[in-house]
């Protein structure tokens, strides 16, 4: 029988416990298990935003050079790279995840060798809506057909796939599935939105060519923070992407020339980078990099394991894999009354996430989530079901 004191003891033993102090937490009584939708606010992001406002008002246009705003999409990418196992010059941070997926799938299609007939993009029907929508949109735009499902990759040119399932937290075998697609002649674009900042990844080592993801979940980058794109060094001077803007031009201010993509991942850029969003995102990314992705991933496994044990103890049906190597940073349970329970939890200041029709997600952000939060969330849920007062 797990008691609350066990959770308290785990918090005392947690080597990452003090990182919670790096975040703005106005209401210490609020239990927040939705950092996999929107991460908390790093105190340093607040400071950095104040600083960038001063740069904007004081140094005005000169800030693009003096404060290196011109390269912000790439320098923030370089700070994110180690969290993906990637190196400098392999990651850029810009635009939205939707735009990033669009760019990466098109880039992968261009890389795929010529064959007669339309090229084929494969995606699972249960993948995140945006991923499916982007593929549908591309199939309408160019000569592409969509294969629904990933079991048979014969004849497939490009696979678009989430590493972590947004509902169940099921984690795919990154190396194995990249290799399986490769053996079938397909390039995989990995969507790391629910993986970045919570799993220890080695994109180059696992043979990943192209990836994309968001920074506002486990990376605590801020609401609507810009997305990242990863392009392996191996292929980056061969790739093209379809949205050609002046930040992707080799010599940006030589304005009279035709488009010539800059070397490296910079060719993925589009327009003027979102300086405010990038400034906040950088601080969230830095916190994870400083804390160390190894420790973060370890705590994620531990927190989710603790959540699964509690779910089991309180009699909930989980849909999250029990194998710690096969899951991301959240725990999901299935309840027919998910909508009602979500509302009642919110009323009792326990914030989790709901996905229709019947999934409740408990997100564990290793830098801010305590074991007592996980305990209190499950025990509040049980109180609601047994009719106990809060």
Find the binding residues for a second copy in span 69-128 (CB under 8 A): 69, 94-99, 102, 106, 128
Query: From residue 194 to residue 223, what is the string marking binding to a second copy with x (rule CB under 8 A)?
Result: --------------------x-x-----xx
Phi-psi category of residue 383: left, alpha or beta, with phi > 0 → left and psi -120 to 50 → alpha: alpha
> Toward a second copy, which CB reaches closer, 23 or 371?
23
- Confirm if 200 and 23 have CB atoms less than 8 A apart: no
* Residue 390 to residue 382: CA distance in whole angstroms: 10
Size of the site for a second copy (CB under 8 A): 84
Rounded to a whole number of angstroms, the minimum distance from the CB of residue 41 to a second copy is: 4
Catalytic residue (one of 32, 102, 128, 375) = 128
Catalytic residue (one of 361, 362, 373, 375) = 361
> Toward a second copy, which CB reaches closer, 6 or 262?
262
142 contacts a second copy (rule: CB under 8 A): yes
Catalytic site includes residue 353? no
* Residue 293 to residue 287: CA distance in whole angstroms: 10
Q: Which of 129, 154, 294, 387 binds a second copy (CB under 8 A)?
A: 129
Here the tokens at position 170 are 């099921």
Scan residues 316-335 and list those touching a second copy (CB under 8 A): none
Q: How far is CA 271 from the centre of its chain?
A: 22
Cis-peptide, bond into residue 357, ω within 30° of zero: yes
Catalytic site includes residue 216? yes
Query: From residue 251 to residue 290, what is the string marking binding to a second copy with x (rule CB under 8 A)?
Result: --xxx--xx----------xxxxxxxxx-x----------
> Toward a second copy, which CB reaches closer, 175 or 246?
246
350 contacts a second copy (rule: CB under 8 A): no
Rounded to a whole number of angstroms, the minimum distance from the CB of residue 140 to a second copy is: 7
Rounded to a whole number of angstroms, the minimum distance from the CB of residue 322 to a second copy is: 25
| Cβ burial, residue 159 (10 Å; 0-12/13-18/19+) | buried
Here the tokens at position 343 are 């509302």
Q: Which of 170, 353, 373, 376 binds a second copy (CB under 8 A)?
A: 353
* Residue 55 to residue 77: CA distance in whole angstroms: 21
3-state secondary structure of 134: helix
Catalytic site includes residue 309? no
Picking from 242, 262, 267, 211, the residue whose alpha carbon sits closest to that of residue 84 is 211
Catalytic site includes residue 191? yes
Q: Of 84-92, 309-317, 350-358, 377-385, which segment contacts a second copy by CB under 8 A?
A: 350-358
- Confirm if 208 and 232 have CB atoms less than 8 A apart: yes
How far is CA 292 from each of CA 19, 172, 218, rounded to the nearest angstrom?
11, 22, 13
β-bridge partners, 91: 230
Rounded to a whole number of angstroms, the minimum distance from the CB of residue 129 to a second copy is: 5
* Residue 365 to residue 202: CA distance in whole angstroms: 20
> Toward a second copy, which CB reaches closer, 37 or 179?
37
> Toward a second copy, which CB reaches closer, 34 or 79?
34
Scan residues 21-80 and list those touching a second copy (CB under 8 A): 23-27, 30, 32, 34, 37-38, 40-41, 45-46, 49, 52-54, 56-58, 60-64, 69
Rounded to a whole number of angstroms, the minimum distance from the CB of residue 213 to a second copy is: 12
User: Which H or E element spans position 100?
Assistant: helix 97-111
3-state secondary structure of 96: coil
Rounded to a whole number of angstroms, the minimum distance from the CB of residue 91 to a second copy is: 18
Q: Which of 4, 5, 9, 133 binds a second copy (CB under 8 A)?
A: 133
* Residue 228 to residue 217: CA distance in whole angstroms: 12
Q: Of 2-10, 315-323, 347-355, 371-379, which segment contacts a second copy by CB under 8 A?
A: 347-355
* Residue 361 to residue 353: CA distance in whole angstroms: 5
* Residue 26 to residue 36: CA distance in whole angstroms: 19
- Active-site residues, by number, are 128, 191, 216-217, 361
């Amino acid at each position: 029988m797990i008691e609350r004191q066990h959770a308290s003891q785990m918090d005392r033993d947690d080597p990452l416990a003090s990182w919670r102090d790096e975040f703005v937490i106005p209401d210490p009584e609020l239990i927040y298990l939705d950092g996999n939708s929107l991460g908390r606010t790093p105190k340093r992001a607040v400071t950095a935003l104040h600083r960038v406002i001063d740069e904007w008002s004081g140094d005005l246009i000169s800030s693009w050079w003096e404060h290196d705003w011109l390269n912000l999409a790439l320098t923030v990418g370089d700070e994110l790279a180690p969290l993906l196992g990637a190196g400098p010059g392999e990651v850029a941070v810009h635009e939205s995840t939707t735009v990033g997926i669009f760019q990466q799938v098109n880039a992968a299609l261009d890389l795929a060798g010529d064959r007669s007939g339309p090229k084929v993009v494969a995606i699972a029907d249960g993948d995140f809506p945006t991923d499916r929508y982007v593929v549908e949109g591309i199939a309408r735009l160019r000569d592409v057909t969509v294969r629904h499902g990933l079991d048979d990759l014969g004849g497939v040119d490009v696979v678009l796939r989430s590493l972590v399932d947004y509902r169940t937290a099921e984690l795919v075998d990154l190396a194995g599935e990249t290799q399986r697609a490769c053996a079938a002649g397909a390039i995989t674009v990995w969507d790391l939105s629910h993986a970045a900042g919570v799993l220890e990844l080695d994109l180059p080592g696992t043979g990943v060519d192209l990836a994309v993801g968001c920074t506002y979940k486990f990376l605590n980058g801020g609401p609507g923070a810009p997305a990242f794109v990863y392009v392996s060094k191996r292929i980056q001077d061969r790739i093209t992407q379809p949205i050609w803007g002046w930040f992707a031009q080799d010599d940006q201010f030589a304005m009279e020339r035709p488009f010539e993509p800059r070397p490296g991942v910079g060719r993925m850029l589009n327009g003027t980078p979102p300086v405010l969003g990038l400034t906040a995102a950088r601080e969230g990314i830095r916190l994870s990099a400083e804390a160390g992705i190894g420790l973060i991933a370890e705590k994620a496994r531990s927190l989710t394991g603790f959540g699964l044990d509690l779910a089991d103890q309180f009699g909930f049906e989980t849909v999250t894999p029990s194998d710690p190597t096969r899951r991301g940073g959240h725990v999901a349970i299935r309840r027919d009354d998910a909508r009602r329970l979500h509302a009642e939890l919110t009323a009792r200041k326990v914030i989790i996430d709901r996905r229709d029709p019947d999934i409740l997600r408990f997100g564990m952000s290793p830098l801010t989530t305590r074991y007592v939060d996980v305990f209190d969330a499950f025990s509040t849920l049980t109180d609601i079901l047994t009719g106990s007062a809060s």
